[in-house]
Amino acid sequence: MNKTVSRIQPGMEAIEKLEDFIKVNRLKAHTRIPCEKDLCDLWGVSRSTLRQAVDELVENGVLYRVLNKGVYVAESRYPRDMAGVSAMVRDLIDQGNEVTKKIIAVNEIPANKQIARNLRVKLGTKIYKIIKCRSINGIPCTIETTYINAERYPGFIDHYSDDVTMDPIFEEYYNTYQTSGTERINVTYATEAEAEMLQTEPGLPMFFASGVALDQNGEVVMYYKQLIRSDKFVFVCTVES
Amino acid sequence: MANTDYKMPIYLQLREIIRNKIEEGEYLPGTAIPSENKLAETFGINRLTIRNAVDALVNEGLLRRVQGKGVFVVGKKNELSIEEHAGFVGSSFENDPRISIKELQKSEREAGNKYANLFGLEVEDEIYYIRQMHSINNAETSIEEFFIPKNILPSLDVINSSVFTFRDILSFYGIKLKKMTQSLRIIKGSAKVRKMLNVPDGVAILLLECDFYNENNTVIAHSISNIRSDIQSFTVSLHK
C-alpha cells in the first residue's frame, strides 16, 4: 500500500501557501493579493478552500477584505519587546515612524496596598503617578500609567516632560539603570474612556502589560501598567544562550 | 550493571531487561513501555512482580508513571542551552498537575512552501506535524501545533508529549537550542478554533508562535498555539 501520509490537508495547505506567497514576494501592507480565481488556478485548490483560508487569515489579522474590491495585506504590527519603552521608541523612530507622547496627568499620591507591594515601600509612601498616551504616526496606540517612589526619586516630575523619556532622567539624575524586570501580559478590552483616548471602539481587545523594573542593585525603579492596542502591536521575545 | 543470572529474584531480572532495552534504544525516551498486562504475558510472571521491577526504575528516575496513560521512558536530560523558563511563560502552565494534554493529530506530511522555506528543505521533504489540545481544570485552553523536520527526531512516536514537554524531548535527543524567538498577538481566531476551545463571544484569542534555532542558527522547529485569553496569561522576564 502506498504511504499517504505526506499530503497536507487542503485547508491548511492553502493557508500556508498564502502566508508563504506574502512572505516570498515581500508584499507590503495594503497590497491587493491576486483574485480568488487566479490563486485557485495557480495552486490547484477549490474556491471554497481558498475562501476559508482567506477567512482564517483575515481573522488572524494577516489580511483584510474591502467589500467589492478584494483582499489586501494588513499592516504589520509594531514589535514590542522586553528591552523597555525607550528602546521601543528608539526602534520605531529608526524605522521611520513618528512617535509622540502626551502626558495626561501627573499626581502625587500616597501608596495604596497594591502600589506599596509592587514598589516594595510602606503603605502611604509618597508616590508619583504619571499617566501618558503615546501615538505612532499620529495614531494613539498606548496608555501608560507609571508609579515612581517620590521619596527615592525626589523631583522626578520636574525633569519629565512630553519631549523626554524616563530612562535618561533616571540615569542622569539618580544614577539608576534599569537592568531587569518581570512583566505580566493579559488581554483586556477598551472601556469607553480608553476607547475615546485611543480613538477606537469600546471593546477592542488590548494587551494589558504590567510589571516592575529593577535597577543595577535589584531595587524597584517603577511599577507600570500599559494598555496597548492589539491591532497595532505584537509582543516579541528573543531568548539566546 | 551486574550480569543477571537465573538465581536472581525475578523482579531484579526483569528490571535489568527493561534497563537494557532502554539503554539499547529499543524503548525510546518519551515513549511508553509495554503495559503491565503485556509484560506479564510476555514473561509469564505476575503483575505484582512487574510492578516491583517498574517501581524500582521509576524510583531511579529512568521511568515515569503517569496516571491513566502508562509508564514512560525518561531520557537523559541534556543541557538545553537556553534557560528553561525564559521567554513567554504561561502563568498556570509549568509543572501544573491540572494540565492535561490530548493528542489530536500526529502525522508525517510534506514540508510545503512555507515550511520548506522556514527549515531550508525541499517542498516535498517530509516533516512531522503534531496537534494537541491542552486543558486546564478540564477546560479546553489551547490548541498547540508543532512542526519539525523528520531528520531531527528518530521517530514520531517519541513525541507523545502528553507526558513530556516539547523542550524535554529535544533535550532527550541532544538537540541543543541556541535561540528561540517568540511572538504573541491577539486575534479573533477562526470559527473552527473558537468552537474547539469553546471561546465565549467577545473573548479574544492569543496566538503564540515560536521558532527554535540550533547552534548553526537554523530553524529546527516551529510551534503555533491558539490560546484562550480568558484562561491563560503570560509572564516574561528581562535581564539586560
**Residue A208 is which amino acid?**
F
Q: Could you say which residues from 82 to 111 on chain A have a Cβ atom under 8 Å away from some Cβ of chain B? A: 82-84
In a domain, residue B1? The reply is no
Chain B CB within 8 Å of residue A238 CB: yes
> Residue A108's CB: how many other CB atoms inside 10 A?
10
- How would you classify the pairing of strands A220-229 and A139-149? antiparallel
Chain A CB within 8 Å of residue B117 CB: yes
In a domain, residue B204? The reply is yes
CA-nearest residue to B228 within chain A is A187
Same domain, B188 and B137: yes
pLDDT at A39: 94
- How many angstroms separate the CA atoms of B227 and B183, rounded? 13
**Residue B38 is which amino acid?**
K
pLDDT at A42: 92
pLDDT at A86: 67
Stretch A96-115: mean pLDDT: 93
Chain A CB within 8 Å of residue B76 CB: no
Nearest-CA distance from B42 to chain A in Å? Answer: 31
CATH class of the domain whose range is A78-236 = alpha beta
Same domain, B201 and B124: yes
Write a three-state SS string for B134-157: EEECCEEEEEEEEEEEHHHCCCHH
- How would you classify the pairing of strands A78-80 and A233-240? parallel
What sign for the dihedral angle of Cα B44, B48, B49, B53? Answer: positive
pLDDT tens digits for A157-191? 999 999 888 989 999 999 999 888 888 888 999 99
Those residues with Cβ within 8 angstroms of residue A82's Cβ, 6 or more apart along the chain or in another chain: A181, A183, A237, B236, B237, B238
pLDDT at A3: 46
Contact state of B183 with A234 under an 8 Å Cβ cutoff: yes
Helices B36-43 and B10-23: crossing angle in degrees, nearest 10, is 110
C-alpha cell read off for A102: 502626551
What DSSP state is assigned to residue B32? B
- How many angstroms separate the CA atoms of B29 and A18, rounded? 37
Domain C-terminal end among B22, B45, B73: B73
pLDDT at B68: 79
Chain B CB within 8 Å of residue A185 CB: yes
Residues of chain B with C-beta less than 8 angstroms from the C-beta of A84: 238
Give the DSSP letter string of chain A. Answer: ----TTPPPHHHHHHHHHHHHHHHTTPPTTPBPPPHHHHHHHHT--HHHHHHHHHHHHHTTSEEEETTTEEEEPPPPEEE-TT-HHHHHHHHHHTT--EEEEEEEEEEEE--HHHHHHHT--TT-EEEEEEEEEEETTEEEEEEEEEEETTTSTTHHHH--TTS-HHHHHHHHH---EEEEEEEEEEEE--HHHHHHTTS-TT-EEEEEEEEEEETTS-EEEEEEEEEETTTEEEEEEEE-
Number of domain units in chain B: 2
CATH class of the domain whose range is A10-73 = mainly alpha
Same domain, B107 and B208: yes
CATH of the domain at B122: 3.40.1410.10
Q: B interface mutation test: which of A3, A60, A76 has the most B CBs within 10 A?
A: A60
What sign for the dihedral angle of Cα A12, A186, B84, B219? Answer: positive
In a domain, residue B4? The reply is no
> Residue B196's CB: how many other CB atoms inside 10 A?
15
In a domain, residue B201? The reply is yes
Q: Which of B173, B183, B172, B121 is nearest to B147 (CA)?
A: B121
pLDDT at A177: 92
Chain B CB within 8 Å of residue A179 CB: yes
ipTM given for this complex? 0.89
| A59: nearest CB among B107, B189, B206 | B189
Please tell me whether the overall predicted TM-score, pTM, comes out greater than 0.90 for this model: no
Chain A CB within 8 Å of residue B34 CB: no
pLDDT tens digits for A59-84? 999 999 999 999 999 998 988 876 66
Domain C-terminal end among B30, B52, B73: B73
Q: Could you say which residues from 20 to 49 on chain A have a Cβ atom under 8 Å away from some Cβ of chain B? A: 20-21, 23-24
In a domain, residue B234? The reply is no
Residues of chain A with C-beta less than 8 angstroms from the C-beta of B142: none
Domain C-terminal end among B73, B94, B112: B73
Same domain, B96 and B65: no
pLDDT tens digits for A106-118? 999 999 999 999 9
Contact state of B114 with A17 under an 8 Å Cβ cutoff: yes
Contact state of A182 with B238 under an 8 Å Cβ cutoff: yes
- Look up the domain containing B16 and give its range: 10-73
Residues of chain A with C-beta less than 8 angstroms from the C-beta of B235: 182-185
Chain A CB within 8 Å of residue B147 CB: no
Strand order, beta sheet including A220-229: A99-110, A126-136, A139-149, A220-229, A205-215, A178-189, B234-239, B89-90
Same domain, B105 and B197: yes
Q: A interface mutation test: which of B190, B209, B224 has the most A CBs within 10 A?
A: B190
pLDDT band at residue A2 using 50, 70 and 90 as cut-offs: very low
Contact state of B236 with A185 under an 8 Å Cβ cutoff: yes
Residues of chain A with C-beta less than 8 angstroms from the C-beta of B157: none
pLDDT tens digits for A33-63? 999 999 999 999 999 999 999 999 999 999 9
Domain ranges of chain A: 10-73, 78-236
Q: What is the mean pLDDT of each run of 10 residues along chain B (240 residues)?
A: 69 89 86 91 91 88 83 71 57 58 88 94 92 86 92 78 73 82 92 93 92 91 92 78
Chain A CB within 8 Å of residue B85 CB: no
Residues of chain B with C-beta less than 8 angstroms from the C-beta of A77: 185
Same domain, B117 and B56: no
Those residues with Cβ within 8 angstroms of residue B135's Cβ, 6 or more apart along the chain or in another chain: B99, B100, B101, B102, B141
pLDDT tens digits for A182-213? 888 889 999 999 999 999 999 999 999 999 99
Contact state of A180 with B240 under an 8 Å Cβ cutoff: yes
Same domain, B86 and B46: no
Stretch A118-129: mean pLDDT: 95
**Which H or E element spans position B72?**
strand B70-73
pLDDT at B24: 84
C-alpha cell read off for B20: 537494557
- Asked if domains A10-73 and A78-236 share a fold, the reply is no
In a domain, residue B238? The reply is no
**Which H or E element spans position B75?**
none
Find out whether B196 and B146 touch, Cβ atoms under 8 Å: no
Mean pLDDT of chain A: 90
